[in-house]
Structure 1
Amino acid sequence: MTEPDQETTEQWALINTPLGEPWSGRTRYAAAMYFYKRGELSAEALEVYRLCSRLDSEDPLPIIRERGVGSEWLVRMEKQKQ
């Protein structure tokens, strides 16, 4: 696996913006759109980020898990946090 470029590294940081910070939901959604456009996030999972975009304290990952729409994404998020 190749090392991520600077843009991808920045987008990982943005998608992991802490819950509850002002505008954090929109920040996570914008980063999710980046990964969607790269083909790394499903449209269904992106929709969850969109729904959570105005809810800064809402974690989209449990909703993605509940809906069963992004299992590969959930694995990537777990690996990325390690």
Structure 2
Amino acid sequence: MDDDETAEQWALVNTPLGEEWSGRTRYAAAMFFYKRGEMSAETLEVYRTCSRLDAEDPLSIIRDHGVGKDWLARMAGKTRP
């Protein structure tokens, strides 16, 4: 995959909470990372569940469920693309 595409998807998965359609935007970008093998199915499922809830923070749910530790580390800036 192209670095520009990865950077764009990274920005989309980090769309601020509460913006209209932001949940769906984050989910679509999460699917990009899942298809590349960079996100677990359990983590993607949280994004899917939150896709219609623009103000819901998928990262807090991921943390609460104890899944996606690699993804949480990446989102914390430890292993960004």
TM (norm. structure 1) is 0.91
The aligned runs of 1:41-80 (5 Å cut-off) are 41-79=39-77, 80=80
- Counterpart secondary structure, 1:56: coil
Report the equivalent of 1:31. Answer: 29
Give, in whole Å, the separation in 2 of the partners of 1:66 and 1:42. 16
Partner amino acid for 1:78? A
Q: Deviations over 1:15-61 (max 9, x none)?
A: 00010000000000000000000000000000000000000000000
Percent identity reads 75
Structure 2 unaligned blocks of 5 or more: none
**Unaligned 5+ runs, structure 1:** none
TM-score under structure 2 length normalisation: 0.92
Deviation of the 1:8 alpha carbon: 0.2
Q: CA RMSD in A?
A: 1.0
Distance 1:19 1:66 in 2: 18
Instruction: List structure 1 runs of 4+ shifted beyond 4 angstroms.
Output: none
Shift of 1:70: 0.2
Look up the match of 2:11. 13
Displacement of 1:69 in angstroms is: 1.0
